[in-house]
């Protein structure tokens, strides 16, 4: 399965001095909190790709969702409220689809002359 997810903090940091997810002493904010979440997802060892709006993670239910929880928890340590958006493509028996889906799209676009 592939899960596309977006994690974002909401509200003022609880204590920007103590948590890197809060951006450190200057309270740099959302980018640092998102970076902390993405670091946690990448540390899972699962295939990940990050783009402007989502991080896509590929694996099995029991691998992905603990990693998502850890990523949310790292942001929740620094912010009083966390937004999580998830979209899943569940297709048993397929691996390597983070790249495979894009390759098939690019092939289709080439056939269409685009």
Give the alpha-carbon dihedral of 79, 9, 87, 63, to 10 degrees: -40
Phi, psi of 7, rounded to the nearest 5 degrees = -120, 130
Query: 54 is written with which tokens?
Result: 């989502």
Q: How many residues does the chain have?
A: 114
pLDDT of residue 28: 59
pLDDT exceeds cutoff 50 at 26: no
Domain containing residue 45? 2-111
pLDDT higher than threshold 60 for residue 38: yes
Q: What is the mean pLDDT of residues 5-11?
A: 93
Q: What are phi and psi of 78, to 5 degrees?
A: -110, -15
CATH of the domain at 39: 3.30.70.930
Whether the per-residue pLDDT at 18 is higher than 70: the answer is no
Per-residue pLDDT averaged across 48-54, rounded? 96
For residue range 75-95, list pLDDT tens digits in order. Answer: 999 899 999 999 999 999 999
Place of tokens 């929880």: 69
Instruction: Give the chain's largest Cα–Cα span.
Output: 54
Q: Could you tell me the two tokens for 27?
A: 């309270």
Q: In the structure encoding, which two tokens stand for residue 9, read together?
A: 């903090």
* pLDDT for residue 17 is more than 70: no
Number of domains in the chain: 1
Query: Which pLDDT score, from 0 to 100, does residue 75 have?
Result: 95
């Amino acid at each position: 399965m592939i899960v596309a997810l977006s994690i974002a903090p909401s509200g003022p940091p609880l204590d920007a001095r103590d948590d890197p997810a809060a951006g450190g002493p200057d309270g740099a904010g959302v980018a640092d909190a998102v970076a902390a979440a993405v670091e946690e997802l990448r540390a899972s060892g699962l295939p990940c790709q990050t783009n402007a709006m989502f991080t896509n993670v590929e694996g099995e239910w029991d691998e992905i969702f603990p990693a998502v929880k850890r990523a949310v928890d790292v942001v929740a340590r620094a912010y009083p409220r966390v937004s999580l958006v998830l979209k899943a493509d569940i297709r048993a028996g397929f691996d390597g689809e983070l790249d495979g889906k894009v390759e098939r799209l690019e092939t289709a676009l080439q056939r269409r002359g685009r």
